[in-house]
Amino acid sequence: MDTVLITGTTSGIGKAFAGKFASMGNNIILVSRNRDKLQEQQIDLQSRYQVSVEYISCDLAEGDAVDMIMEKIRSWSLSVDVLVNNAGFNEAGCFINTNLSKELDMIQVHIKALTALTKSFLPGMIKRGYGRILNIGSTGSYMPCPYDAVYAATKAYVLSFSNGLYQELKGTGVTVTCLCPGATKTLFAEKANINNTLLFKFFVMQPEAVAAIGYSNLQKGKRVVTAGLYNKLLVLSAKLLPVSIINSIAQWMIKI
Ligand X SMILES: NC(=O)c1ccc[n+]([C@@H]2O[C@H](COP(=O)([O-])OP(=O)(O)OC[C@H]3O[C@@H](n4cnc5c(N)ncnc54)[C@H](OP(=O)(O)O)[C@@H]3O)[C@@H](O)[C@H]2O)c1
Among 218, 217, 208, 159, smallest CA distance to 4 is for: 218
Using the rule CB under 6 A, is 175 a contact of ligand X? Answer: no
Using the rule CB under 6 A, is 5 a contact of ligand X? Answer: no
> With contacts defined by CB under 6 A, how many residues of the chain interact with ligand X?
31
Rounded-to-integer distance, Cα 171 and Cα 164, Å: 14
Contact residue for ligand X among 17, 28, 88, 177 (CB under 6 A):
88
Contact residue for ligand X among 1, 23, 25, 34 (CB under 6 A):
34
Q: Do residues 135 and 160 make contact, with C-beta atoms less than 8 angstroms apart? A: no
How, if at all, do strands 224-226 and 3-7 pair? unpaired
Part in contact with ligand X (CB under 6 A); list of ranges 20-28, 32-40, 95-103, 236-244: 32-40
Part in contact with ligand X (CB under 6 A); list of ranges 42-50, 165-173, 175-183, 235-243: 175-183
Q: Taking each helix axis as running N to C, give the angle between helix 12-23 and helix 207-219, from 0 to 180 degrees, rounded to the nearest 10.
A: 50
Using the rule CB under 6 A, is 138 a contact of ligand X? Answer: yes
Least distance in angstroms from the C-beta of 169 to ligand X:
22
Using the rule CB under 6 A, is 19 a contact of ligand X? Answer: no
Q: What angle do CA 16, 129, 160 make, to 5 degrees?
A: 60
Binding mask 195-234 for ligand X (x = CB under 6 A): ----------------------------------------
| Residues contacting 192, CB < 8 A, separation 6+ | 89, 90, 91, 92
Helix (H) or strand (E) holding 104: helix 100-107
Least distance in angstroms from the C-beta of 190 to ligand X:
8
Rounded-to-integer distance, Cα 14 and Cα 210, Å: 10
Rounded to 5, what percent of the chain is helix, strand, coil? 55, 15, 30
Q: Which residues pair with 82 in a beta bridge?
A: 4, 132
Least distance in angstroms from the C-beta of 67 to ligand X:
14
Rounded-to-integer distance, Cα 224 and Cα 43, Å: 33
Using the rule CB under 6 A, is 116 a contact of ligand X? Answer: no
Part in contact with ligand X (CB under 6 A); list of ranges 12-20, 44-52, 115-123, 163-171: 12-20
Using the rule CB under 6 A, is 187 a contact of ligand X? Answer: yes
Q: Do residues 227 and 206 make contact, with C-beta atoms less than 8 angstroms apart? A: no
3-class DSSP state of 129? coil
Q: Which is nearer to ligand X, 9 or 42 (CB)?
A: 9
Site for ligand X in 45-74 (CB under 6 A): 59-61
Q: Catalytic amino acids?
A: 151
Using the rule CB under 6 A, is 8 a contact of ligand X? Answer: yes
Least distance in angstroms from the C-beta of 98 to ligand X:
16
Q: Which residues bind ligand X (CB under 6 A)?
A: 7-14, 32-34, 37, 59-61, 86-89, 109, 136, 138, 181-184, 186-189, 191
